[in-house]
């Protein structure tokens, strides 16, 4: 993960010596104007824990691949430990059953398959990393807007494509909202 940083300042330092790399600009929906408008950067690192991480889908895909293949940086018992349910959670996603918290990850069952995922975001960026460990399949997405529908709809569509779910069984049950 060569372009993942703990803070906006760290990312800016990297950019100063790598001008070919750019940070995305954030946007929010303005319902009065009925359009997305630019939002200035807000440093929320003091209140958001890892939510202020600056990364990209390539590095997130490497992270998910490490969990799928359990090929480092954690040991196999380490991967098991952080993806093992430790606490039940209230239902938040209608199609994900048995939702639990697992050391930073959420785990449950999606269409009969074990799913491990971590949604995250700030006021102006949203990401989601999801994988089906038993199928060795994962997806990641990021969007420069605080809009979960923009990110979750295509990610779950990709999972449904992989699982071969017929179009007529793909109902909008709130995952994309």
Reported as a single tens digit per residue, the pLDDT across 69-89 is 988 788 889 999 999 999 999
User: Quick check: bond before 167 cis, omega within 30?
Assistant: no
Measure the CA dihedral 129/160/173/96, to 10°. -60
Taking all residues of the chain, what is their mean pLDDT, rounded to a whole number? Answer: 82
Q: What local confidence, expressed as pLDDT, does residue 174 receive? A: 47
* pTM metric for this prediction: 0.79
Helix ranges, the chain (H): 8-17, 57-69, 76-83, 148-163
Q: What local confidence, expressed as pLDDT, does residue 175 receive? A: 42
What element of type H or E holds 113? strand 113-121
pLDDT for 81-111, tens place per residue?
A: 999 999 999 988 778 899 999 988 999 999 9
Tell me the average pLDDT across 3-21: 77
* Residue showing tokens 């779910």: 165
- Which of these, 59, 62, 43, lies nearest to 51 by C-alpha position? 43
CATH superfamily of 8-166: DD-peptidase/beta-lactamase superfamily (3.40.710.10)
């Amino acid at each position: 993960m060569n372009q993942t940083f703990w803070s906006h300042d760290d990312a800016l330092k990297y950019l100063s010596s790598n001008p070919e790399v750019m940070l995305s600009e954030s946007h929010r929906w303005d319902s009065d104007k009925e359009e997305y408008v630019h939002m200035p950067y807000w440093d929320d690192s003091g209140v958001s824990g890892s939510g202020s991480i600056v990364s990209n889908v390539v590095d997130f895909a490497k992270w998910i691949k490490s969990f799928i293949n359990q090929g480092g940086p954690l040991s196999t018992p380490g991967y098991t430990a952080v993806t093992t349910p430790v606490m039940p959670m209230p239902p938040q996603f209608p199609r994900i059953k048995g939702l639990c918290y697992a050391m930073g990850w959420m785990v449950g069952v999606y269409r009969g398959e074990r799913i491990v995922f971590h949604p995250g975001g700030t006021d102006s960026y949203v990401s989601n990393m999801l994988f089906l460990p038993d199928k060795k399949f994962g997806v990641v997405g990021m969007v420069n807007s605080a809009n979960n529908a923009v990110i979750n709809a295509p990610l779950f569509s990709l999972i449904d494509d992989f699982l071969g779910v017929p179009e007529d069984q793909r109902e909008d049950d709130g995952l994309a909202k």
